[in-house]
A and B are shown apart, each in its own frame.
Chain A
Amino acid sequence: MKVKALSIGMTLAAATMLAGQALAFEPTRPVEFVVASGPGGGTDNFARTIQSIITKHKLMDQSMVVLNKGGGSGAEAFLYARKNEGDPNKLYFGTNNAYLLPHVAKLAYSMEDLRPVAALAFDEFLIWVKGDSEYTTPAALIEAAKAKPNGVTFAGSQSKDTDETLVALIEQTTGTKFKYLPFNGGGEVGVQLAGGHVAANVNNPNENIGQWQAGAVKPLCVFSDKPMAKGEPVYDGKGWGDIPTCASSGVNIPSYKMPRTVWTAAGTPDEAVTYYSDVLKKVSETPEWAEYIKKTSQTGDFLAGQPLQDFITTSEKSTVGVFEAEGWLVK
Chain B
Amino acid sequence: MENFELLMGGFATALTPMHITLMIVGVLLGLIVGVLPGLGAPNGVSLLIPLTFAMDPVSAIILLASMYWGALFGGSTTSILFNIPGEPSSVATTFDGYPMARSGQSTRALTLAFMSAGIGAFVGIVVITLLSSWAARFALRFGAAEYFAVYFLAFCAFIGMGSASPIKTAVSLSLGLLLSTVGMDTVTGSLRLTFGLDALLSGVSFLVVVIGLFGIGELLATVQDGLKFRGVASRIDPRDVFKTMLELPKYITTIIRSSAVGVWMGITPGGPTAASFMSYGLARQWSKPGAKFGTGRPEGIVAPETADHSAGTCAMLPMLALGVPSSATAAVMMGGLMIWGLTPGPMLFSTQPDFVWGLIASMYIANFVGVILVLLTVPFFAALLRIPFAIIGPMIVAICFVGAYTVANSTSDLWLVLIFGVVGFVFNKLEFPLAPLVLAMVLGSKAESSFHQSMIASDGSLGIFFSNYLVGTIMTIALALLIIPQTLKFIQYLKSHKSVDSAA
Contact = CB atoms under 8 A, between A and B. Distances in A.
A and B pair up: yes
Interface of A: 1, 38-41, 44-45, 48-49, 51-52, 55-56, 66-67, 69-73, 75-76, 79, 104-108, 153, 158-161, 164, 179-185, 187-188, 190-192, 194-195, 197-198, 206-207, 209-211, 213-214, 216, 291-292, 295-296
Interface in B122-177: 139-144
Contacts of A210: 322-323, 343-348
A71 B202 contact: yes
Contact of A213 (B324, B332, B346): B346
B495 to A, nearest CB: 47
26 contacts: A39-B42, A48-B49, A48-B50, A48-B335, A49-B339, A55-B50, A69-B409, A71-B202, A72-B183, A76-B408, A79-B198, A105-B189, A158-B186, A159-B188, A160-B189, A182-B189, A184-B186, A187-B322, A187-B324, A187-B334, A188-B324, A195-B141, A197-B143, A210-B322, A210-B346, A214-B345
A72 B50 contact: no
Contacts of A56: 53
A73 B189 contact: yes
A39 B328 contact: yes
Interface in B172-221: 183-191, 196, 198, 201-203
A181 B190 contact: no
Contact of A39 (B184, B185, B335): B335
A104 B139 CA distance: 34
B231 interface: no
Nearest to B328: A39
Given A211-B346, A291-B341, 5 more contacts: A48-B49, A76-B201, A182-B189, A195-B141, A295-B338
Interface string B344-378: 11111001000000000000000000000000000
Nearest to A32: B409
B323 A211 contact: yes
Nearest to A153: B457
Given A73-B184, A192-B143, A179 B409 contact: no
Given A75-B201, A191-B139, A292 B343 contact: no
B335 A179 contact: no
A39 B453 CA distance: 24
A84 B303 CA distance: 47
B331 interface: yes
A187 B453 contact: no
Which of B196, B332, B449 has the most C-beta atoms of chain A within 10 angstroms of its own C-beta? B332
Interface magnitude class on chain B: 35 or more
A1 B411 contact: yes
Given A40-B335, A55-B50, A191 B201 contact: no
Contacts of B428: none
Given A48-B49, A213-B343, A213-B347, A70 B202 contact: yes
Contact of B198 (A52, A108, A295): A108
A161 B351 CA distance: 34
Contact of B184 (A66, A71, A194, A209): A71
Contact of B191 (A69, A105, A153, A207): A105
A214 B143 CA distance: 20
A295 B187 CA distance: 30
Nearest to B140: A195
B244 interface: no
A76 B346 contact: no
Contacts of A51: 50
A105 B341 contact: no
B295 interface: no
Contacts of A104: 189
Contacts of B351: 213
B262 interface: no
Contacts of A107: 191, 201
A153 B443 CA distance: 26
Contacts of A295: 338-339, 341
Contacts of B189: 73, 104-105, 158-161, 164, 182
Interface in B316-344: 322-325, 328, 330-335, 338-339, 341, 343-344
B456 interface: yes
Contacts of A195: 140-143
Contact of B186 (A66, A182, A187): A182
A292 B336 CA distance: 12
A73 B201 CA distance: 9
Given A45-B335, A216-B346, A197 B144 contact: yes
Nearest to A211: B345
B285 interface: no
Contact of A40 (B53, B188, B334, B347): B334
B46 interface: yes
A79 B201 contact: yes
Nearest to A83: B198
A9 to B, nearest CB: 15
- Quick one: which of A158, A187, A188 has the most chain B CB within 10 A? A187
Contacts of B344: 210
Contacts of A105: 184, 189-191
B339 to A, nearest CB: 6
Contacts of B188: 159
Given A39-B42, A210-B343, A72 B338 contact: no
Contacts of B343: 209-210, 213
Contacts of B334: 40, 187
B453 A183 contact: yes
A104 B188 CA distance: 11
A216 to B, nearest CB: 6
B426 to A, nearest CB: 27
Contacts of A181: 144, 453, 456-457
A72 B184 contact: yes
A179 B459 CA distance: 10
B331 A40 contact: yes
A190 B343 CA distance: 13
A38 B328 contact: yes
A138 B498 CA distance: 71
B298 to A, nearest CB: 36
Nearest to B137: A195
Contacts of A214: 345-347
B38 to A, nearest CB: 14
